[in-house]
Every structure is written in structure tokens, then in C-alpha cells.
Amino acid sequence: MTEQPLQGHMYLFDSATPPLDDGSYRLTVGTQVDYQGTGQGFSRQHYFDIIGPRFSVPQSMVATTWPPSNGHGAFQDGLAHVVLSRRTLPWERELDPSNLIPPPTIPPGAPAAPAPPVPWVALLVFEEGEYTLLRNIPLQQAVPADVFGRLGSPANISCDAVEADADLVASILPSVEELQLLAHVRWVNVQDRELNTAGGDGYYAVVISNRLPEPDAQCRAVLVSLEERADLVQANPPPFIFPRTGATAQAEAAPPAEAEPPAAGLEVGPADVLPSPIFTLSQPPVHTFSPLIPLPVQFPSGPRVRLIALTSWQFTCEGPGTFRQLMQNLDVAMLGTVADVGHPPLADTGHLQIELQDRLGASEAVWYRGPGVPYNLTRDPNGPYHSADQARRVTPETGAEDVSYAAAFEVGRLLAAADPRFAQAIMRWRRESYKQSARASTIGAMEQRLTLSLPGTLAETLHTPVSPIIGTAAAQAVAASGPPLADAYGLTKVGGAAGMNPANLAAAWNLSSASEAADLLGADPGTLGAVATPPAPTIRPDTTLAEVAADTAGLARLSAARAQAVANATTTLGGA
């Protein structure tokens, strides 16, 4: 695992761009070879495409969304966002490669627009009734013809699209600068997360919407593609207002910012005093509509536009449902606590009464408790168990059987039996143990019966073959138990024979001396086992080739010998 932020820390980045944007590329490789004044150039072209998600985003790239998909809750004060596990996704394509969108006009005094890149996606929130989601339509129908042409007229592409009023889309679609502000990258710590977290490196791209969903509305958030949509994306953000806020309302109480000329016939009063609902026939009633309350019914009017929907999800703004509310409303207890005591029938130890068919087929009420218990228990020291029946217990208080541990035994057995590789491993474990056990028994038995001097580490050096070592040790022991083999070939005994003794021989044959008899016997002292000294080798000086060549006398002798040999051969062959 590469480094990651400290626990509790999070880093934010403006954008993350891939080394190359999506698109088609041409790679030209060239080399120039010069040899002895003449040169030759070689070059070759290759084409390759970088293809990323363009007309739909697979669900596997959506790490999470807020509000949750199909969630219900108080989402009306939050801006919906989608978290993408592919961190470069919003910046992988160009929003406007043809430069059809004019550069924004920045009013004096305002900060400069953020630096590129500009994301090509935006998250739009529509309420129920405002939009139509079109599933799997041809791309030609999802975008206007000129946009289709600028997209490269890809054939046979189907995509989802969302259709809504042009006015509505224009009122919520972010401008270029806003697009940039609504997407960023986060880098978080993923140490204490459960396992299915997509994007294991902790980087995520986040695309935010700019629209607050209405309370009590069912909404759909749609991640749309704005690639080449110069017809919709505005260079400058549309005009804005400050709705009456608590802070500004106080500050602006005195200046007549909102004090419009009063309607004729009405008494001019303080701005915050509503007209009296009492009216007379001479004075028509005054209806005041707050500009902040939208009309309950909106009729579709004007043209409708379609946008490519990359991914979308629905949520409903009703009731509590934020993370905080859900967490605070949790029912917290130890496992084994039930709201309605007796349903299910639970003992205070956490045991649950269940029905069981015993071996005879009769129904029996038994106790069961899972691995999660409400108390800290001591560990059963009576182990191991070899069958489930060993683990069955009868509780003295109730007389009923407790099958918890027997059930655990059986589920463990079934899980293990379902895994062929585990069966192989456990068989290998046993086989190895049996083999080592047999080996240790062999060594022990041999040492017990024979007084062998086996190496002390034999029992630990498991790969040493036992039989040759024991064989060698046994042979050594046998050899060590007899007299020393001084006269291995019986030469001393033979030497002791009467006919082989020089003194006896000299006496028998009436020789003058024993040495004479020894000569008769061969005079070879080695015969009788005595030590024979080899003759010293003759020392010869080293001779170099130059010395040999300079030895004229020797050369003359060799020449003479050769001439003699030639003469002899000539004579042998009959003159000539």
C-alpha cells in the first residue's frame, strides 16, 4: 500500500488530468542513419486510440453517491454529488475542443477564472415531472445533428438520455467557470473501511450539483455529458439574486432596497407589515405571492433538449435520513436484547429457544446461541472435540438441550467439507505428521535396541534420510565390537608358516646365512608385509626449447642416428 493521508485527514485537489486525453492519436517514430556521407531516414506511423467512458459510466466507477440511491431523507439542504472511483474521469475529455464557446467576460474586480482543465460532465438534479429519461436510444437521437457531427459521428452507439425543457436546463446548467468549481478530487484514508471500497488508493473524483432539491420532492440526479454542447453551455454565469436572508435583511432594513412603490390605495407602512387581510367592498382584496414559492404546477412550454445521461439515480426528500439522523436514531443494545420481551423466546443468557427434530424424528425444544454473546465468557478448556455429539449439553435449569456448540461444530465441518482445497491441505497436514511420527518411532526403536551413536540432530533434521545413517552407524558399531583388523589379509599368519621363515629355511636347507634364505624366498621385503621404500625419482633439470636448439652435439647425434636408420632401411630393401 502506498502512502495515504493520516487518519482523519483529507486532501482536496482542483483536478486530476490523465497524461493523455481520450481520443485518436498518431505516433510517428523516425530515425536518420548517416554512413559514409550518405544518409537514409526511416519513419513509421502508428495509430492508437485512448478510449474512456464517453456515453455511459459503468456502475463500477461510481464509488458512492449522495443522497444515497433510492434514499429517503432530509436532503433539501444539501447539494447532490457523485463520487467516482476513477479520479481523472471528469477531465479525460475536452468540453469544447472546437472552441465554440466564447471566452468569459470577467467583470473588473472579480477574481480570475480558475485555470483549465474544464470538466466535460455535470451533475444535474431534476424533480419528478420535469424530465423524461430515455433508455438506450441511438446517439443520433440524443444529441442535435451538429453536435453528433462534432462528436465524430460514431456509428451504432446507444446511450441513455435525459430530456427536459430548454428553459429549465438553461436555468440549472452550470457555466464553464461553474463547471470547474463543481468538480474536484479528494484523497482520503482508507485504513478503517470495509472491504468492498472501490478505488483502493483513496483517490476519488467528486462532481457536485448546483441545485438544492425541493423539500418533499422526488428527484433524480443525472450525470450528463456536455462534450461539444456549445449550444447549451454558457460562457458567463447567468444573473443571480440574494434571497432575503436573516443577515442581510437586518442590514438592509433601513435602505429601501426592496421598498417598491406601494400600490395605489394602500397605506404605506413598514416594509415587514403585511397588508391587512380585512377588506371592504370598495377596496379590492390584495393577494400577495411570495416570489420564493414556486408555482405548484408547471406546464411544459417551449422546446425541449436532450442530454446524454452517463449515470443517474433517484432519491426522495422526505423525513429524516441524513447520516447523523440515522446514527442518532439507532437502537443501541447488546446482542440478545429484544424490544418485545418473549418475542422471540430468549433466555437472559442470550439463548434462543428453537424447535429441533431429534434423531427419532420427534420435535424437541432446544436452546441455541450464536457466536455473539452479551457477556464475556471464559473459553471452554475441554478441547478438542471430535464429534458434534461431544459438544451437546443439557442445561440443568431447564432440562432442555443446548445445541449451540454442536451447531458450531457442524457448520465448521460443512464449511470445510465444501472446500476441496482445504481437504487437500488437511490431508497433507496429517500425512506429514504421520510420516514424521513414523520416522521418530523408527529412530527411537533403533536407539533403544542397538547402542548406536546417531547424530543428535537427526530427529530435527527432517529431510535427512534415516536408513543410510542408521545403516552406517550399525556397521560402525559391528566393526567396533570385534578385535582390530591388524592383518586384514592374514599375511602375518602366512609369514609364520615354516616354509616362509628365512631362518627355518636356512636351517632346513643348511644354508650359510639367513640372508641367503631370504634371497631364495624372493628377497622382496614387501612380500612379507614390510614397508618398501620407493626409489627416489631422478631429478631432471628443466630444459627450454632454446637450450635444445643450441645443443649442436645432440643434434649431430640425432642426425647421425637418422642417417644410420635410413642406411639400414635402404640395405633392408635391397640396395639402391
Partner 1 sequence: MRSVSITNPAALAERLTAKDQVDASVPESGMPPYMEMFLAHLRVLIGVPFDYLVPDARLLPDESIRFFYVDRSWTDRLVDGAIAVGKTGSREQAHHQAHAADVQSQLDLTERVVRILQRGLQPPDPPTDQGPARVLTGFLLRSAAVTGWPAMDVRAFSTIVPPYTGNPDDPAAEQWALQAAAAQLTTLRLELLSPSVLLAIFDGIPELVWLEQPHHNIEFGVTPNNTGGFILDRHGPVGQVEQPAVPVPVPVRAANNRVVAVAALRDELAALTGPPVLPQTGSAAFAIELLDYPWRQRFEGVQSDQRASSGAFVSKWEVASVITEPDVRTAVTELLP
Q: Per CB under 8 A, which of residues 463..482 are in contact with partner 1?
A: none
Is 404 near partner 1 (CB under 8 A)?
Answer: yes
Q: Burial level of 536, CB count in 10 A (0-12/13-18/19+)? A: exposed
For residues 103 and 177, give the distance between their C-alpha atoms in angstroms, rounded to a whole number.
Answer: 10
Closest CB to partner 1 among 336 and 502? 336
Closest CB to partner 1 among 30 and 108? 108
Size of the site for partner 1 (CB under 8 A): 166
| Least separation in angstroms between CB 442 and partner 1 | 12
Is 6 near partner 1 (CB under 8 A)?
Answer: yes
CB 37 within 8 A of CB 285: no
Chain positions 12 to 71 lying near partner 1, rule: CB under 8 A, are 12-19, 63-64, 66-68, 71
| Least separation in angstroms between CB 480 and partner 1 | 31
For residues 180 and 207, give the distance between their C-alpha atoms in angstroms, rounded to a whole number.
Answer: 10
CB 219 within 8 A of CB 125: yes
Is 420 near partner 1 (CB under 8 A)?
Answer: no
Residue from 134, 157, 172, 474 touching partner 1 (CB under 8 A): that is: 172
Q: Burial level of 420, CB count in 10 A (0-12/13-18/19+)? A: exposed
| Least separation in angstroms between CB 139 and partner 1 | 28
Closest CB to partner 1 among 427 and 566? 427
| Least separation in angstroms between CB 129 and partner 1 | 15
Residue from 132, 141, 276, 387 touching partner 1 (CB under 8 A): that is: 387
* Closest by CA position to 191, among listed 470, 1, 389, 471: 1
Residue from 31, 105, 376, 481 touching partner 1 (CB under 8 A): that is: 376
| Least separation in angstroms between CB 133 and partner 1 | 20
Kindly state the DSSP code that residue 20 receives in the 8-state scheme. Answer: S
Q: Which three cell numbers stand for residue 76?
A: 433539501
Kindly state the DSSP code that residue 68 receives in the 8-state scheme. Answer: P
Is 102 near partner 1 (CB under 8 A)?
Answer: no
CB 353 within 8 A of CB 363: no
The residue written with cell numbers 500500500 in the block is 1
The residue written with cell numbers 624372493 in the block is 522
State the DSSP H helix or E strand holding residue 84, giving kind and residue range, or none if neither.
Answer: strand 81-84
Residue from 24, 100, 129, 170 touching partner 1 (CB under 8 A): that is: 170
Cis amide linkage into residue 117, ω under 30° from 0: yes
| Least separation in angstroms between CB 159 and partner 1 | 25
| Least separation in angstroms between CB 448 and partner 1 | 13
CB 401 within 8 A of CB 364: yes
Is 253 near partner 1 (CB under 8 A)?
Answer: no
| Least separation in angstroms between CB 349 and partner 1 | 9
Which part of the chain contacts partner 1 (CB under 8 A), choosing from 143-151, 439-447, 498-506, 537-545?
Answer: 439-447
| Least separation in angstroms between CB 308 and partner 1 | 21
For residues 310 and 156, give the distance between their C-alpha atoms in angstroms, rounded to a whole number.
Answer: 17
Chain positions 66 to 85 lying near partner 1, rule: CB under 8 A, are 66-68, 71, 73, 76-79, 81, 83
| Least separation in angstroms between CB 310 and partner 1 | 19
Chain positions 530 to 549 lying near partner 1, rule: CB under 8 A, are none
For residues 310 and 62, give the distance between their C-alpha atoms in angstroms, rounded to a whole number.
Answer: 11
Is 509 near partner 1 (CB under 8 A)?
Answer: no
Is 98 near partner 1 (CB under 8 A)?
Answer: no
| Least separation in angstroms between CB 216 and partner 1 | 13
State the DSSP H helix or E strand holding residue 136, giving kind and residue range, or none if neither.
Answer: strand 131-138
CB 206 within 8 A of CB 83: yes
Binding mask 322-351 for partner 1 (x = CB under 8 A): xxx-xxxxxxxxxxxxxxx--xx-x-x---
Closest CB to partner 1 among 157 and 392? 392
For residues 47 and 42, give the distance between their C-alpha atoms in angstroms, rounded to a whole number.
Answer: 17
Q: What residues have CB less than 8 Å from 50, skipping those under 6 apart?
A: 18, 20, 21, 22, 23, 25
Q: What is the 3-state secondary structure (H, E, C) of 106-118?
A: CCCCCCCCCCCCC
Is 303 near partner 1 (CB under 8 A)?
Answer: no
Q: Burial level of 75, CB count in 10 A (0-12/13-18/19+)? A: buried
Kindly state the DSSP code that residue 103 receives in the 8-state scheme. Answer: P
* DSSP bridge partners of 402: 367, 393
The residue written with cell numbers 566393526 in the block is 479
Which part of the chain contacts partner 1 (CB under 8 A), choosing from 33-41, 377-385, 496-504, 529-537?
Answer: 377-385
Residue from 188, 222, 230, 305 touching partner 1 (CB under 8 A): that is: 188
Residue from 133, 157, 166, 190 touching partner 1 (CB under 8 A): that is: 190
Is 488 near partner 1 (CB under 8 A)?
Answer: no
| Least separation in angstroms between CB 110 and partner 1 | 5
The residue written with cell numbers 529431510 in the block is 463
Is 524 near partner 1 (CB under 8 A)?
Answer: no
| Least separation in angstroms between CB 390 and partner 1 | 9
Chain positions 220 to 249 lying near partner 1, rule: CB under 8 A, are 237-249
Helix (H, G, I), strand (E, B) or coil at 61: helix
Is 374 near partner 1 (CB under 8 A)?
Answer: yes
The residue written with cell numbers 457442524 in the block is 410
Is 434 near partner 1 (CB under 8 A)?
Answer: yes
Is 279 near partner 1 (CB under 8 A)?
Answer: no
Closest CB to partner 1 among 265 and 383? 383
